[in-house]
Amino acid sequence: MNKSDIKNSAIEAIYWWNRSEGYYHKYFKKLDVIYTNKKQLNFFISKLFNSFLNEYSVRRNINKGSDSVNSFIDEIVEQNFIMKVKEGDVRCIDEMSAKLLNSGKSVKKRTISLLSKFAFLINPIDFSLYDTLAREAVWEIHAKGIRKNSLMSYSNFISGVNDLLNLNSQIIKSQQSTLELFEGTEAYDYFSQNNEAFGRRIMDKYLWMYKKRRLSDENQKKDSEMFDNSAYIEFLKM
């Protein structure tokens, strides 16, 4: 992992926290409270949760229709998923995915990607985003030669991510100087107080960029500009 790619990943993490993730986090972490107020819950589902499903490309994980979305929210609250996420219990992703699949009320397939992204917005310190790109990147980069199929489990996936975080802790910590360039933004306010979340989000973005670049190389496309985020600080000063 070189410093240039890590810096690009750090700026990408800062950009997305400023753009939408900070806003989602503010309310997703309060869903257990929002759930007790039907009027607030309806607003949350309509304005935030449905937007999240589309923006994070996970609407397909839930059965068609608004009733399925409502059932999904009911199930995760009833199973105490939100509290487990707040406590950093990463095993709850695999467990909740299995319970949702068994009940069949809101889903008919594995929902690990959806649940990981939901959990990240509640607790970005302990949860990384799981999808095909991230899973394959961990498998390709990981020094211990872990089995690819084992990463179908979120617990194994997050263990692999944590190994990469530990192995690259110094170069990731060096990005505090990049964060300081964005003083006064939501990302700076949050990440300067939650260094672990910043490091994990840098790794998330690094894994995504790594795999996207590999796919780009395979397709012989020249789109390296998509990985250059250096202009973001200039945008904020406009």
> For the chain, what is the mean pLDDT?
92
Do 18 and 131 belong to one domain? yes
Domain tally for the chain?
Answer: 2
Report the predicted TM-score, pTM, of the whole model to 2 decimal places. 0.92
Mean pLDDT, residues 181-204 taken together: 97
Do 154 and 231 belong to one domain? yes
Residue ending a domain, among 66, 90, 122, is 122
Query: 225: pLDDT confidence band, cut at 50, 70 and 90?
Result: low
Residue ending a domain, among 89, 122, 155, is 122
Do 55 and 67 belong to one domain? yes
Do 105 and 160 belong to one domain? no
Least trusted range by pLDDT, from 29-33, 67-71, 163-167, 213-217? 213-217
Q: Which domain holds residue 48?
A: 30-122
Do 78 and 135 belong to one domain? no
Rounded Cα distance, 86 and 184, in Å: 27
Do 110 and 167 belong to one domain? no
Cβ contacts of 81 within 8 Å, gap of 6 or more? 92, 96, 115
Do 117 and 136 belong to one domain? no
Query: 143: pLDDT confidence band, cut at 50, 70 and 90?
Result: low
Rounded Cα distance, 115 and 28, in Å: 12
pLDDT higher than threshold 90 for residue 80: yes
Q: What is the DSSP string of 27-58?
A: HHTTHHHHTT-HHHHHHIIIIIIHHHHHHTT-
The confidence score (pLDDT) of residue 216 equals 67
Do 8 and 90 belong to one domain? no
The confidence score (pLDDT) of residue 93 equals 98
Do 17 and 89 belong to one domain? no
Residue pair 119/85 in contact by the 8 Å Cβ criterion: yes
Cβ contacts of 211 within 8 Å, gap of 6 or more? 133, 134, 136, 137, 140
Do 147 and 194 belong to one domain? yes
Do 63 and 163 belong to one domain? no
Rounded Cα distance, 42 and 70, in Å: 9
Mean pLDDT, residues 57-71 taken together: 94
Residue ending a domain, among 64, 87, 122, is 122
Do 149 and 92 belong to one domain? no
